Amino acid sequence: MSIENKNRRDFIGLSFAGVATIGGIFALGAMKKTWDPLPSVKAAGFTTVDLSQVKDGELHQVEWRKKPIFILKKSANMKPDDSRDVVVGNSRYTVCIGLCTHLGCIPSYKGEHFACACHGGMFDLSGNAIFGPPPRGLDIPPFKIDGTKLVLGEVGPEYQKLVGKA
Ligand code: FES
Are 88 and 51 in contact, with CB atoms under 8 Å apart? yes
| More confident of the two residues 125 and 8 | 125
Question: Which range, of 27-36, 44-53, 91-100, 152-161, averages the lowest pLDDT?
Answer: 27-36
User: Mutation test of ligand 1: which of 106, 116, 138 has the most ligand atoms closer than 8 Å to its C-beta?
Assistant: 116
Q: How many CA atoms lie within 13 A of 11 on its CB side?
A: 6
Whether residues 64 and 15 fall in one domain: no
With cut-offs at 50, 70 and 90, classify the pLDDT of residue 164. confident
Residue 63 CA, ligand 1 centroid: distance in Å: 20
Task: Quote the CA–CA distance of 114 and 108 in Å, as a whole number.
Answer: 5
Stretch (H or E) spanning 12:
helix 3-35
How distant, in Å, are the alpha carbons of 59, 60, 98, 111 from that of 151?
A: 17, 15, 17, 25
Q: Whose CA is nearest to atom 4 of ligand 1?
A: 119
Length of the chain: 166
Whether residues 57 and 129 fall in one domain: yes
What does the mean pLDDT of the chain come to?
84
Q: Which domain holds residue 15?
A: 3-36
Residue 122 CA, ligand 1 centroid: distance in Å: 9
pTM over 0.75: no
- Residue 28 reports pLDDT greater than 60: no
Residue 43 CA, ligand 1 centroid: distance in Å: 30
- Protein residues with CB under 6 Å of any ligand 1 atom: 100, 102-103, 105, 116, 118-119, 121, 132-134
Whether residues 91 and 159 fall in one domain: yes
Identify the CATH number of the domain in which residue 104 sits.
2.102.10.10
Task: Quote the CA–CA distance of 127 and 47 in Å, as a whole number.
Answer: 20
Whether residues 90 and 154 fall in one domain: yes
Whether residues 99 and 147 fall in one domain: yes
pLDDT at 133: 98
- Residue 1 reports pLDDT greater than 60: no
| Chain Cα centroid distance, residue 40 | 9
99-157 pLDDT, tens digit per residue, is: 999 999 999 999 999 999 999 999 999 999 999 999 999 999 999 999 999 999 999 99
Task: Quote the CA–CA distance of 24 and 147 in Å, as a whole number.
Answer: 52
With cut-offs at 50, 70 and 90, classify the pLDDT of residue 38. very low
